[in-house]
A and B are shown apart, each in its own frame.
Chain A
Amino acid sequence: MRDLLLTRTTLIWVLLVGATLVSWELGHGVGFDSATSAGAAILIVTFVKVRFVVLDFMEIRGAPRWMRVIAEGWIVLCCALLIGLFLLAR
């Protein structure tokens, strides 16, 4: 059991919880003076989390190369699309 707890999966979970708390602080006015900058930062942190879930929990890191290319491509495009739309609302 111990060797199942001390794994990369557990480390990723700790990082994801940490990133969630960082997003939470950013969403409550910590770190940035403008809501626009904070919102863009929250979206970037969100897609870093998404990448960890896709690569490590969904195990795309060890999947065939074409799957990883599609997954990483979607993450970048979706993140860019959402940040672009968010910034347009200024």
Chain B
Amino acid sequence: MPGEEGVWLFIGGDLILFTLLFAVFLHMRGEQLTVFTEGRAQLNQTWGLINTLLMLTSSWCVATAIQAARRHQVQVTVRCFGGALACGLGFWIVKCFEYSEKLSAGLTITTNDFFMLYFIYTGIHLVHVTIGMGVLTALIFYARSGDFGATKLRNLESGASFWHLVDLLWIVLFALLYLVGAP
């Protein structure tokens, strides 16, 4: 098993919670199809695409960091975790542009049910990104001393698994919020 059991318990719980959130979104979309179709059209898909590419690239960096750690390549491990952290920062910056664009257009959490779910879901995800960036920062300092024994590798894998969860959740959010239901 990659990483600690406790991390997988958390990942499983988070996935169940988000499955419910995804289902609620599509259920509400079914009840207010026009509102949700118009809301989706008001999102900037390019921001969503850029953030998806940043998330996928960050996950690749993290997976490569773990492979490098298994080969005891300290510098490569640290650089790859650093690359993932930079992608996370990029995600945050893009999200700030996106939110400010929406707010300046008068689109807020109270505009309608689509934007209520948009801000809540992307906000919860952004909290995950922020926690993940904290984890990645800790992993960078943790990996710098090298000496990748079994326990250390397991801890690195635990942090990596959490970051991949953040990527996975965004993949589904991108499809639901930005892509499906285009007329």
Contact = CB atoms under 8 A, between A and B. Distances in A.
Main secondary structure of the interface of A (DSSP, over half): helix
Interface of A: 1, 4-5, 7, 9-10, 12-13, 16-17, 20, 23-24, 26-29, 35, 38-39, 42-43, 45-46, 49-50, 53-54, 56-60, 62-64, 67, 70, 74, 78, 81-82, 85-86, 88-89
Contacts of B73: 4
Contacts, number: 122
Q: Which of A10, A39, A58 has the most CB of B within 10 A?
A: A58
Nearest to B59: A57
Contacts of B176: 82
Contact of B164 (A53, A64, A67, A89): A53
Nearest to A70: B12
B53 interface: yes
B29 A89 contact: yes
Main secondary structure of the interface of B (DSSP, over half): helix
A46 B171 contact: yes
A20 B52 contact: yes
Q: Which of A5, A53, A60 has the most CB of B within 10 A?
A: A53
Contacts of B62: 57
A86 B26 contact: yes
Given A24-B179, A58-B2, A50 B172 contact: yes
